[in-house]
Amino acid sequence: MPARFVYWMNVSVDGFIERAPGEHDGPDGPEWVSIDEELHREFNQRAAAMTLAVEGRVVRDLMDPYWPDARADESLTEVEREYGEIWTAQPKVLVSRTRTTADHDTRVIGSDGRAIEELARIRQETEGDVGVGGADLASQLFDAGLIDELMLFTHPAVLGGGRPLLDPPRSGERAPSRLALLEEQRFTNGVVLRRWDVLRGS
């Protein structure tokens, strides 16, 4: 059975993932994203359950070297250091036009026209859940029919504009997709997790 590609993202109530470019730079992220210890532990648990992580270059630059360094940073909380261990040890695929090598159990593939074909092959040959990070990459995979699940952490904020969950398709129009709710979980800080199964051919 092929792996399930899971697009995992923090999102506002009105469906945006960032209000302005670059606002996720740095460890704290934008003000509208509410990550406390309870939610961070959930992130850790979900990440540890993934077989593999697939990342675009922008996401990779946000994660590395911050999370590898976090493992030994005593100024951080235990849950943050734990996430550093999880991310660093997890097998990863980096999709990038500019990077040819990467540390921390990472395979690099180019982001040319063959990248989506290669990721389709990886999906077919891998088992379990594969986390997909990065809106550009996730949008391309979604349009290729390779995103199986949306795992959305909806934060109690309305941004009024910005970058949507999925970028516009690179060519043509995106056909509507039906979803089925797999799970819903509420956190004390107001964040709601919803996991959606993408129903292809419906």
| E strand or H helix that includes residue 45 | helix 37-48
One pLDDT digit (tens) per residue for the chain, 202 residues: 899 999 999 999 999 999 988 777 665 679 999 999 999 999 999 999 999 999 999 999 999 999 999 999 999 999 999 999 999 999 999 999 998 899 999 999 987 779 999 999 999 999 999 999 999 999 999 999 999 999 999 999 999 999 999 999 988 889 899 999 999 999 999 999 999 999 976 4
10 Å Cβ neighbour count for 133?
A: 19
Kindly state the tokens that stand for 56: 């675009």
pTM: 0.94
Lookup result for tokens 């063959």: 114
DSSP, collapsed to helix, strand or coil, labels residue 12 as strand
22-199: CATH number: 3.40.430.10
| E strand or H helix that includes residue 18 | strand 16-18
